[in-house]
Structure 1
Amino acid sequence: MILRKLSLNISPLLIEIFTEELPFSAIKKEISNVLEKFKKVLRAYNIDCNVDFFYTPRRLIFHSKNFPLKQSDEIKEFFGPPLSIAYQNNEPTSATKGFLKRLNISQDKLQIKAKDNKEFLFYSYKQEGRDSKDLIENIILEFLDSLSFGKSMQWGSIEASFIRPIRNIFILMDDKFIKTKDLEKKYQFNQVNKIVPHRICSNKEINNIKDYFTFLRDNFVIYSQYERYEIIINQIKEVESKFNIKVELDRELLDEIIAITENPNVLFGEFDKKFLELPKEVIITSMKINQKYFATYTNDGLLNNGFIVVCNTISTSDLILNGNIRVLSARLEDALFFYYNDLKSFVKDKCDLRLKNIEFIQDSGSLYDKVGREKEIAKIIILNNKINESVAKNIQDSIEISKNDLLSEMVNEFGELQGIMGSYYTDNDRLKQALKEQYLPLTEDTNIPSSIEGAIVSIANKLDSILILFALNKIPSGSKDPFALRRAAGGIIKIIEYFKLEFNLEEILDSLKPFYKKIEIYRVKNFFYERLEGILNVNQSIINAAIKSKQNDILKLLEQIKALELIVISPNKNDYKMLFKRVANILTDTTKKDIDTSLLIENREIELYNRIDCFRKQNLTSPSSIIKELLGFKDILEAFFDDIMINVENKDLRENRILLINVIYEEFFKVGDIKEISF
């Protein structure tokens, strides 16, 4: 056991890890973990304090106003053998000798201490904390090793790696510069107490923390990411007011701009209105992906020819803005050229035969083959859900041309626009929405298709990808899911639930088996069931209970899971827990199939039978209604268990009473196996 006594000697601490420019694509997932990882290393060194974390494109900054100058002292405690076996004839036993040897102490250091109403040999000592300045280098080394940016690089002749080369690590503790040796050697930099400000300014030697922050601010480095956010937002609001526009604040793009600027400055520019002939998604994507611009809209919600660029300079000259306009105009000119070429070449009424020459995935057949399989999937869903003829035709026609835009110049330039461009290239207004929505939802947070046509086209696309990859044994494992099949399965489940689609998974998979020769249906079923846990915020045992019911229809399974959740969220859940346990203890196989009413001789069993009979006559189909009604059996069941002897000597009477309980369990089982539920 270790007890810690906090040090009262504190001072400010500043650490700046200065690097080459950090790419946002690599740091965006890890940046939210950086502060906690730093604190975790501090805790491992028995250092507890508040720490602020800031970052810019070239620096990671840690600042603590109350950093302990020493580690916390530790009182280390060790319990030895029980006193009852510690000595024999006043001499230490082998157990005591072993305890002394392990701790390398003499017998006179031992004490006696009670624990759990029993006396033990005991030893303790105080280990004084070391000076923090002697530990800080190891703390930083371990912290850097803990970071995981995915990709990293090596430079010079070093064996270590990091996301980008480290050029300096500046450390001030109690306003004293701390020199390092191992850090310099490991990452090959010359440590100096000079700080690099904005690129247009000169470096300066800094000797105290106050001067550090003042120097950065005076030299155009807004070190706080939170302040950069406020600056960008406020300047955008000023632009909106000045030019009477609305700016689309794409949060992902905003986070990136915050991360890649040290001194953000918002500028408003305009491109030629002729480019508004392009689909709005093309303009927005070109601005976001290539130029990191925000799109702007009229107050009526229409895309206009304005854009917001956030530059990283102190200048607001027209030269910078005009340069951005020229670059954007060149890109939009290319896009306009691609767009008009595609309108001439796009095959609008059938699957483009050129797709036969493009393999979907190795050994999976061509994209032309994929379209054919998707049409078979859609046919089954249409039939099962009794989709009317005109809607069914829209679905099949949409799938027929759904992959044609993959051959377009525009999608070749902007892969994010697949599906969307097809919706612009087709002349058939009936198909536009389905084509645009065929890949939705793209992530867990994006919308699902808005139309039944888009929904079934999307399911067909996703299900075919899952099945063909399972047939090729390219199945997700652990954290690896290179083809995003988990996301695809989750999307299918969400669409089924929203549109209330009948979707008997086993029957559908069995019908499709001829198209996926080597597929193992049970593995696909289990894969979908596993995704339920990732989508539904419910107790896993509830999902398991519903699956035990042998329900293969995804929609009905979802309804059963929600119904079973009523049990564990009920204020009477503890009573139900005990009741289900009593039911489970009695369940057994019996040769009797029907309750023999002539053997019902006690009032409680007659009451229970009548309640069962009344329940059955309701012919309830809704899982929630079934569960609510069965939970209403609580009082009468408890009375039955309290007043009725079940295991009587008379075999017929005993089996009849067991059958009463079996019948109730079987009614529950239609929704889920109550024995599986954990509370």
Structure 2
Amino acid sequence: MRQDTLLVEIGTEELPPKALKSLSDAFTDALVQLLTEQEFNFGTVRSFASARRLAVQIATLDAQQPDKVVEKRGPAVDVAFDAEGTPTKAAEGWARSNGITVADADRLVTDKGEWLLYKAEVKGQPLSALLPELVQQALGRLPIPRPMRWGNSTAEFIRPVHTITMLYGADLIAGEILGISSGSHLQGHRFHCPQGTNLEHADNYEQTMEKAWVIADFSRRRERIQKGIDQLAQELGGEVLADEALLDEVTALVEWPVALSASFDSNFLTVPKEPLIVTMKDDQRYFPLHDKNGDLLPSFIFITNIESKDPQQIILGNEKVVRPRLADAQFFFESDKKIPLTNRIEALSSVLFQKQLGSVKDKSERISEIAGKIAELLGINRAVPERAGKLSKADLTTQMVLEFPETQGVMGMHYARHDGEPDGVPQAIYEHYLPRFAGDSLPQSLAGCTVALADKLDTLVGIFGIGQVPKGDRDPFALRRAAIGLLRIIVEKDLPLDLQELVAAAKSSFKSGTLTSATVEDDVVEFLLGRFRPWYQDQNIAVDVIQAVQARRPTRPVDFDQRVRAVTAFRELPEAEALAAANKRVSNILAKVEGEISQDIDQGLLTEAAEIELSKAVGAARISSSKALDAGDYTGALKALADLQKPVDTFFDNVMVNTEDDAVRKNRLALLSRLRELFLRIADISVLN
């Protein structure tokens, strides 16, 4: 059978840069899956994606599906024939549906009976006959939230489509997709090769595109951009901070990248660097430069999509474009400094946080109160957290933040420093938004931690308190993110805080009648405890380990984390499996007991050698594990309990718990209860798999 390379390319208008990589991956995955389902064999698969194309190249692909034998079972023989051996209507109908007579049918004999059987050899269809529909299906699976139409066509795609190419080796596969007939003509670079080019063989796709001034391979284009940026940064004596998302976006915007550098007036450096960086990155897709101390340099690197004969004109054009944006930032900064943050608090009254929960001013006052209470729990001075909490949202009314929302918090820090706020207040204002996303940095100062916790608690308790609990994918107030951020701060900063106390403190800051939920405290604590599971799963911690700890409901996050680490270590011990099974058995036995189980063990009723030995082992384990627990060493406590494996196994092998002697039975249940209680001080290891 012939095997050759397949090339499928969809030539479009400029695709959304932030979605390009996901579209490319989805298209490749879908086409590969569909070909696999159709039983085609093939070799290596490559994806190509640029601003105006999505392409897939598949090596050594079969030209035709393999032939196969299809078996269709019919009715059972005793149903297919009557007493005289005449075919029934059921048998005849089945035979007709398969294009045969009952006499032509084979027989399938199994140990369960005998059935009529139809065997047919189905010839594999050629790739050329199936591919157009497969490509259409693959395109239909792409994550396109809002497809568009163009011209008079009824076809829909994320952007207008100009060319469709399906080439198998040197052979063009005919077909129409999205209203476009397949052809070998490809779009070239919009400026360097506007006439396009023809592809003669699927193997030559990458080289053909490069001659048309298109680097079609996303990774190669990205590497070229990175290399150009690094080289220019070195020449300019600066560094470009890593920004993978920006690098991917720029890679998606261009097809023939050329790195150039430009500069701006150093007077703009009197403005804090953050809004300057935002306008260069987000508005212009530039790469700002820093010196070794992290200070912004009056230079930037940008990527152009053409190989210009006069690059200086492009440089001057970009400098001209960025200058007014930087001037705006400078104007906003100078204007904002004229009004101290403390004078801006009242303006927050007109900024709505949530209709039932009031304004942002109300929220900042609650944050201040909660932060003060958390500071007391931590044993630190409450003045700085309270002041930072009161000013935490004041920069939302500044022109800078209104123009550059990404700078909220950081501009509050800069303005607080300008206003001469006490030491620690500016930093806490900035840090109270942290962490902003998964993997983001945490507040460094204790004051920053308290205000960050207060902000997140206020949102969680407030939104839960009015009954707007996150459901499914709906989480408009980002409560899940707030919850994990809160847990991260407490655990990673090793703060001795209890969720129950924190939630109660947050609830008390709301005015009477604001919160309508009678169960808000329990609901928020349970929600926070529930967030441990996705957080730990991201760290590749086993689900059953998390469940073992959650069963004990420890509400101090640091304590919860220590237990998880201990159970994870215990799970790797050779004794763990047997002890987990024994605990499960003990749990099942105790669950069936009616009435209370005695807390005392009568040593005189212990007659079997195995139960005497287990009682001694439990006593010794209680002493050794208690010493470890008193030191906060859960791992050491579980290791001490691991010594119980042999006496527990021996007990169950040789002792009947539910004996007819009532006193002996109750005594043995008390012993098992004492055994289980030792483990439950840390976690319910009976749930371990």
User: Is the TM value for this pair above 0.5?
Assistant: yes
The correspondence for 2:622, drawn from 616, 619, 622, is: 616
Corresponding position of 2:612: 606
CA contact 1:440–1:448 (8 Å) conserved in 2: yes
Corresponding position of 2:338: 344
The correspondence for 2:551, drawn from 525, 548, 561, is: 548
Task: Report matched runs for 1:359-370 at 5 Å.
Answer: 359-370=352-363
CA distance in 2, matches of 1:85, 1:672: 60
1:326 aligns with 2:340: no
1:143 aligns with 2:138: yes
SS of alignment partner, residue 436 of structure 2: coil
The correspondence for 1:42, drawn from 35, 50, 62, is: 35
The correspondence for 2:187, drawn from 166, 174, 196, is: 196
Corresponding position of 1:3: none
Supply the RMSD in Å over aligned alpha carbons.
2.8
Task: Report matched runs for 1:366-385 at 5 Å.
Answer: 366-385=359-378
Q: Which deviates the most, 661-670 or 69-78?
A: 69-78
Q: Which deviates the most, 293-302 or 430-439?
A: 293-302
Task: Report matched runs for 1:191-270 at 5 Å.
Answer: 193-200=184-191, 201-204=193-196, 206=198, 208-209=200-201, 213-270=206-263
CA distance in 1, matches of 2:144, 2:307: 30
1:89 offset after TM fit, Å? 6.8
1:76 aligns with 2:70: yes
2:225 is aligned with what amino acid?
A: I
1:246-295 Cα offsets, whole Å, 9 max, x none, are 22231111111111100000001121111111212122211101111111
The correspondence for 1:393, drawn from 365, 383, 394, is: 383
1:597 aligns with 2:603: yes
CA distance in 2, matches of 1:469, 1:28: 36
Task: Report matched runs for 1:557-572 at 5 Å.
Answer: 557-572=560-575
Q: Which deviates the most, 327-336 or 553-562?
A: 553-562
1:532 is aligned with what amino acid?
A: F
1:49-103 Cα offsets, whole Å, 9 max, x none, are 2332101101111222323222233332345677898878794897877865665
CA distance in 2, matches of 1:151, 1:285: 28
Corresponding position of 2:407: 417
2:198 is aligned with what amino acid?
A: I
CA distance in 1, matches of 2:302, 2:71: 61
Corresponding position of 1:435: 429
CA distance in 2, matches of 1:496, 1:370: 22
CA distance in 2, matches of 1:667, 1:102: 69
CA distance in 1, matches of 2:614, 2:220: 68
- Given the superposition, is the C-alpha separation of residues 181 and 227 from structure 1 closer, same or farther in structure 2, using an over 3 Å criterion? closer
SS of alignment partner, residue 676 of structure 2: helix
- Given the superposition, is the C-alpha separation of residues 460 and 75 from structure 1 closer, same or farther in structure 2, using an over 3 Å criterion? farther
1:308 offset after TM fit, Å? 0.6
1:191 offset after TM fit, Å? 5.9
- Given the superposition, is the C-alpha separation of residues 48 and 92 from structure 1 closer, same or farther in structure 2, using an over 3 Å criterion? farther
- Given the superposition, is the C-alpha separation of residues 101 and 493 from structure 1 closer, same or farther in structure 2, using an over 3 Å criterion? farther
1:534 aligns with 2:534: yes
Task: Report matched runs for 1:290-329 at 5 Å.
Answer: 290-315=283-308, 317-329=311-323
1:172 aligns with 2:167: yes
Q: Which deviates the most, 569-578 or 534-543?
A: 569-578
1:148 is aligned with what amino acid?
A: P
2:515 is aligned with what amino acid?
A: K
1:517 is aligned with what amino acid?
A: L
1:179-225 Cα offsets, whole Å, 9 max, x none, are 434531xxxx5765432211222324525136654442123111111
Corresponding position of 2:524: 524
How many aligned positions are there? 663
CA distance in 2, matches of 1:351, 1:655: 71
CA distance in 2, matches of 1:255, 1:143: 24
SS of alignment partner, residue 135 of structure 1: helix
CA distance in 2, matches of 1:278, 1:204: 46
Corresponding position of 1:648: 659
1:22 aligns with 2:25: no
CA distance in 1, matches of 2:151, 2:466: 43
CA distance in 2, matches of 1:570, 1:487: 34
CA distance in 2, matches of 1:190, 1:645: 80
CA distance in 1, matches of 2:10, 2:435: 39
CA distance in 2, matches of 1:518, 1:143: 49
2:190 is aligned with what amino acid?
A: R
CA contact 2:67–2:124 (8 Å) conserved in 1: yes
SS of alignment partner, residue 358 of structure 2: coil
SS of alignment partner, residue 495 of structure 2: coil
SS of alignment partner, residue 203 of structure 1: coil
The correspondence for 2:124, drawn from 125, 129, 151, is: 129
The correspondence for 1:59, drawn from 41, 53, 56, is: 53
SS of alignment partner, residue 282 of structure 1: helix
CA distance in 2, matches of 1:145, 1:76: 29
Corresponding position of 2:579: 576
Corresponding position of 1:404: 394
1:661 is aligned with what amino acid?
A: L
1:590-628 Cα offsets, whole Å, 9 max, x none, are 442322233233443333223333343453243333322
- Given the superposition, is the C-alpha separation of residues 518 and 542 from structure 1 closer, same or farther in structure 2, using an over 3 Å criterion? farther
Corresponding position of 2:646: 635
1:479-506 Cα offsets, whole Å, 9 max, x none, are 2323322111111111111122234333
SS of alignment partner, residue 344 of structure 1: coil
SS of alignment partner, residue 34 of structure 1: helix
SS of alignment partner, residue 613 of structure 2: helix
SS of alignment partner, residue 235 of structure 1: helix
CA contact 1:206–1:212 (8 Å) conserved in 2: no
Output the TM-score relative to the length of structure 2: 0.89
Q: Which deviates the most, 110-119 or 653-662?
A: 110-119
1:155 offset after TM fit, Å? 2.8
- Given the superposition, is the C-alpha separation of residues 452 and 346 from structure 1 closer, same or farther in structure 2, using an over 3 Å criterion? same
